[in-house]
Structure 1
Amino acid sequence: MKLASLKHGRDGRLLVVSRDLRRVCIAEGVAPTLQAALDNWDECEPALRRLYQRLNRGEHQAAFAFNPVECAAPLPRAYQWADGSAYVSHIELVRKARGAEMPPSFWSDPLMYQGMSDGFLGPHDDIELADEAWGIDFEGEVAVITGDVPMGVNEHRTLDHVRLLMLVNDVSLRHLIPAELAKGFGFFQSKPATACSPVAVTPDELGRHWHNGRVHHRLRVTLNGVLFGEPHAGTDMTFGFDRLIAHASLSRCLGAGTIIGSGTVSNRDPNAGACCIAERRTRELLDTGEASTPFMRFGDTVRMEMCDAGGHSIFGAIEQRLTPYSGPDQ
């Protein structure tokens, strides 16, 4: 099943989207928003699935053309956004470039931070930031949306709580990160609003490509229309979502609608390219002694998409332009 949110108020209006991403219908009479559906998943899921089946058969009389530009993030705001760093080889590479050793514990205990969740960007919303000097970077990731997760849940049961999957662009301000982390209290200013794919899908939509808590497809990222990277999301993922959810719920319950990210998708193979500028710059530094790829500049456009074996888009594409933010209206 594929779900989306039409831009409407703060929390959007729940849409059911056809498998081919061509037709859509409003989830009339089932749930007004995706958060409402997640809060009452056992009741809403069967009704939404019936709408989905009718839509795919071409039987829904009120269906209309799907336009991702009109979509908010599937969850325009969420109760919780926790981003992991599951591709440990990516962390190892970045630390190596600055001559820092990676603690052995990184291979057994996931890194995770709690990010901004009170407003996600839609898939085609501009990235509005005030200063190019902040070192503006994109990060292509996979994320899950959970139902209610009990505190201390057994790792072998965590995937039972995954309701939906989607893509995210976790924007990072690389030049703000070092000083902020040096304070010893984690990210804040260096992690602005995150964007999400237009569509979130239930795990069964991925078939055999969803197993071991990993999505086994390539994530394609382009910058200004040029391929930047196409790493395989299931390869070199040290911690699957089963482990990430267990880590997040060790000492707290997770409410329905919690979003957990994978961290930047990354492969050891340099031929796979990268899903963020920082990784490419790191490889350049190690290979040539100089990082030559610049961070994003105003007017740049980044696109992220994941396709199935037949070349069909699974989640729709995130496509965003970086634009200057002029400050609040006076």
Structure 2
Amino acid sequence: MKLATLKDSTRDGKLVVVSKDLTRCSEVGHIARTLQAALDDWAYVAPRLQQVAIGVESGSQPTMRFHEHDAASPLPRAFFWTGGSGGFSGPRDSLSLVEGASDIAVTAQLALITGDVEAQVASADAKDAVLLVLLASDISVGEGRAVSTFSPVAVTPDELREGWNSGDLSLLVRRNGKAFDGGSNGKQEPASVIAAAAALHPLLAGSIIGTGLGKTEGALSIGDTLRIEMNDRTGHSIFGAIEQTVKTRGK
């Protein structure tokens, strides 16, 4: 199942179910108005969303065209993000930095959205807390983190099939159309990174955890265009693309 948040007049946007090929979507406000609302009652809501997803693929569900440019980050704001706190930019929004910004860097990786997780949870129990997977981008300026962004679409782990966390799916990061030199950190068990994040305090449903999977880092300059995506084993985009141009604020 693939989920996205379309921008509207509210902070948290509106939840839609997206087709596997990322071309169509169906509004699901009658089930859950926002992704956070869905995560808060996942055991009840997820099966209903899954039925919509089946209908989207079969043609029995009303749909409209899905445009990645209309999407916010799936969770426009989150209770917890290992890359920092606060709201997030949209995956196609410009990256507006302060005048004179230098030492601009990007870190891209796979991230997880969790359900509720108890503090000091055992790794064996933490695996079931993975509800959704998405791409994450962190932009830092100097020593401080400036902007975090997530892919247009978040997907349930079953969309990635078995072994998705073994590093066999490549994260594609390009600056001005050219690939960054970067590489995977190797195997990272989702359960272990969740357990580490919950070592000192519980995690609320809707927490986002960076995995380090496919982690790529590189330098950026004002005017650069950054594109981050991941394709499945047949070459099709899984999450849609983060594509942003670095600009000076006000220009």
Same fold? TM cut 0.5: yes
Shift of 1:17: 0.2
Contact 1:220/1:230 (8 A) holds in 2: no
Gaps of 5+ in 2: none
Aligned to 2:89: 121
Counterpart-to-counterpart distance in 2, 1:265 and 1:319: 17
RMSD between superposed Cα atoms in Å: 1.7
Structure 2 residue aligned with 1:150, among 118, 121, 134?
A: 118
Residue of structure 2 in register with 1:57 after alignment? 58
Contact 2:167–2:213 (CA under 8 A) maintained in structure 1? no
- Name 1:216's counterpart in structure 2: 168
- The aligned residue for residue 27 of structure 1 is 28
The answer to whether the aligner puts 1:75 opposite 2:24 as a matched pair is no
Q: Which structure features the higher share of helix residues? A: 1
For residue 240 of structure 1, what is the aligned residue in structure 2?
189
The 3-state SS of whatever aligns with 1:77 is coil
Closer/same/farther in 2, CA of residues 307 and 132 from structure 1, 3 Å limit: farther
Gaps of 5+ in 1: 84-114, 178-189, 267-274, 278-294
Percentage of matched positions with identical amino acids: 40
Structure 2 counterparts to residues 37-116 of structure 1, below 5 A: 37-61=38-62, 63-83=63-83, 115-116=84-85
CA distance in 1 between partners of 2:248 and 2:235 (Å)? 34
- 1:264: how far off? 7.3
- Which is higher, the Rg of structure 1 or of structure 2? 1
| Structure with more strand by fraction | 2
Please tell me the residue identity of whatever aligns with 2:232: D
SS of the residue corresponding to residue 113 of structure 2 reads strand
Conserved in 2, the CA contact under 8 Å of 1:16 and 1:24? yes
TM-score (norm 2): 0.94
1:131-280 matches, within 5 Å, as: 131-173=99-141, 176-177=142-143, 190-211=144-165, 214=166, 216-229=168-181, 231=183, 233=184, 236-237=186-187, 239-263=188-212, 265-266=214-215, 275-277=216-218
Q: Distance in 1 between matches of 2:48 and 2:118?
A: 25
What is the SS of the residue equivalent to 2:17? Answer: strand
Asked if the contact 2:113–2:207 (Cα under 8 Å) also holds between the matched residues in 1, the reply is yes
How far apart, CA to CA, are the structure 1 residues paired with 2:28 and 2:69?
Answer: 19
User: Deviations 1:84-128 (Å, cap 9, x if unpaired)?
Assistant: xxxxxxxxxxxxxxxxxxxxxxxxxxxxxxx12x21111101110
| Partner-residue secondary structure (3-state), 1:11 | coil
TM value normalised by structure 1 = 0.72
